[in-house]
Amino acid sequence: MRLFGTDGVRGKAGKKLSAPLAMRLAMAAGIYFRRGSKTNKIIVGKDTRRSGYMIENALVSGLTAVGYNVIQIGPMPTPAVAFLTEDMRCDAGIMISASHNPYYDNGIKFFDAHGDKLQESDEEAIEAIYFDDEMIETNQKVEKEIGASKRIDDVIGRYIVHLKNSFPKDLTLSGMRIVIDTANGAAYKVAPTVFSELGAEVFVINDEPNGFNINKNCGAMHPEGLAKEVVKYRADVGFALDGDADRLVVVDERGEIVEGDKILGALATYLKKNDALAKSKMVATVMSNQALEDFLKTQGIELLRCGVGDKYVLDEMKRNGLNFGGEQSGHIVFGDYAKTGDGIASALQIAALMLRSGKPASEVLSPFELYPQQLVNLEVSKKIPLDQIEGYEELLQNITAKGLRPLIRYSGTENKLRILLEGKDAKVLDTTMQEVVDFFKKALV
């Protein structure tokens, strides 16, 4: 059984992600982190799901059982936990969240002492301990070695100051009208406070979490409501966060949802013009539109691509010593200010870009046009490795010969083949997609 997925441990709370599993996972993680312990402290944050209470208590039980002292900070964004782990000199940080998933799911994400997401080797080591009954048994503490826990409610101030310090000192948001959708999630207090204290006129929606309404028809996954509010209030821009505030979707002053790749392109050029883009390079995933890469070339910026997931964006950034990257889905990483995707920090940089340019969001956040794309999710009866399918290499050559970019991969959770084709000619795209679908229907269905 594999516990960790692409972003921590995630599943339906009370079923796949049960209290006993969380407690044992906390023991395993505690045993692992103790090997390099410096402070014997671990910080635990969560989003606003009802199941967070159950999982938080289970984690605290597991960590204190193996001797760790735990700091509980309550509902806070994922990037806040990453920041506070390092800022408060903890051995590790834990965030309880299933990000953009519905309320009935939950998840557990780990950060190391530097606030970075764990490497796969770390996760594998924790899993090995989890399944080792003897190690779990022998590492449980007794008497004075049992850990303690305490809840601290004022750390929100540290994170707010950190975010405000990421905003240029010579700028103010005074005069800007901004609508923020906090998705009834972890940033329902932090986000409005930051923008208000920097001078903006702020209108907040979906900031009344009840444990069950996180991400429900709101936030980054459903920005349509935000778009209406931006038009209603005649706002300059709208920002939609997801449940744990590591993702951002932007709505311009016309109520139009801005494509993520366009935002990445606009921010990369903004950083370069201000001599703030390390090595004139940035990272995006294989899902980003080719038009982004072509546009960046005209700006003297090189695009490095990686696998899907902000974790892989971060790995590629670290490997190459870069400070900017992201996914078109809304995870944007400013390495100078955050150790992971941070929706609020990203929104502040977009506001700074708008102020410096003196142009409306619709203009400054749309520096190029995207190439047409088609995505087909094909249900398959078997998952034969693609390179073992007869004629597959010839198919790829045929696609690229037509000037198209293919991205073909199996779903990690469903019996589906995801086929993405992209190119400048929509007609060629149509006919080629049909050919590709027919090919895989014969091979896999």
Q: Who wins on pLDDT, 311 or 261?
A: 261
Tens of pLDDT, residue by residue over 207-232, are 999 999 999 999 999 999 999 999 99
- Structure tokens, 86: 């390092």
What pLDDT sits at residue 348?
A: 98
Tens of pLDDT, residue by residue over 27-73, are 999 999 999 999 999 999 999 999 999 999 999 999 999 999 999 99
What pLDDT sits at residue 156?
A: 93
99 catalytic residue (yes or no): yes
Helices in 299-415 by DSSP H: which ranges? 310-320, 343-357, 361-364, 392-401
| List of E strands, 2-102 | 9-12, 41-46, 69-75, 92-96
Q: What is 275-325 written as a DSSP string? A: T-SGGGEEEEETTS-HHHHHHHHHTT-EEEEE-SSHHHHHHHHHHHT--EE
Tens of pLDDT, residue by residue over 286-342, are 999 999 999 999 999 999 999 988 889 999 999 999 999 999 999 999 999 998 999
What pLDDT sits at residue 411?
A: 81
Listed residue (268, 286, 284, 295) closest to 369, CA to CA: 295
DSSP designation for 116: P
Residue-averaged pLDDT of the chain: 96
Non-local (6+) Cβ contacts of 124 within 8 A are none
pLDDT at residue 413 greater than cutoff 70: no
What pLDDT sits at residue 414?
A: 77
CA distance 432 to 376: 12
Residue tagged active-site, from 99, 149, 166, 346: 99
Non-local (6+) Cβ contacts of 16 within 8 A are none
What pLDDT sits at residue 7?
A: 83
pLDDT band at 359 (very low <50, low <70, confident <90, very high): very high
What pLDDT sits at residue 22?
A: 98
CA distance 233 to 227: 10
In sequence order, the β-bridge partners of residue 405 are: 422
pLDDT band at 2 (very low <50, low <70, confident <90, very high): confident
Tens of pLDDT, residue by residue over 268-277, are 999 999 999 9
pLDDT at residue 255 greater than cutoff 70: yes
Element (H, E) at 376: strand 373-379
CA distance 114 to 88: 10
Alpha carbon of 274 to those of 142, 261, 268: distances in Å? 56, 20, 10
Q: How many CB atoms lie within 10 A of CB 70?
A: 24
139-166: average pLDDT: 96
Q: What is 138-202 written as a DSSP string? A: HT---GGGS--EEE---THHHHHHHHHHHS-TT---TT-EEEEE-TTSTTTTHHHHHHHHTT-EE
Percent of the chain with pLDDT over 90: 93
192-200: average pLDDT: 98
What pLDDT sits at residue 247?
A: 96
Reduced to 3 states, what is the DSSP secondary structure of residue 49?
Answer: coil
Residue environment code for 346-364, b if the CB has 16+ CB neighbours within 10 A, otherwise e: bbbbbbbbbbeeeeebeeb
- Structure tokens, 298: 């005209």
Asked if 249 and 217 count as a contact pair (C-beta separation under 8 A), the reply is no
343-365: average pLDDT: 98
Q: What is 206-260 written as a DSSP string? A: S----SS-TTTT-GGG-THHHHHHHHHTT-SEEEEE-TTS--EEEE-TTSPBPPH
Listed residue (97, 95, 80, 90) closest to 112, CA to CA: 90
Percent of the chain with pLDDT over 70: 99
Q: Who wins on pLDDT, 305 or 2?
A: 305
CA distance 165 to 171: 11
CA distance 108 to 113: 16
pLDDT at residue 179 greater than cutoff 80: yes
pLDDT at residue 191 greater than cutoff 70: yes
The answer to whether the pTM exceeds 0.85 is yes
pLDDT band at 421 (very low <50, low <70, confident <90, very high): very high
Q: Who wins on pLDDT, 6 or 313?
A: 313
Alpha carbon of 243 to those of 64, 96, 167, 211, 213: distances in Å? 28, 11, 23, 11, 10
Residue environment code for 323-333, b if the CB has 16+ CB neighbours within 10 A, otherwise e: bbbbbbbbbbb
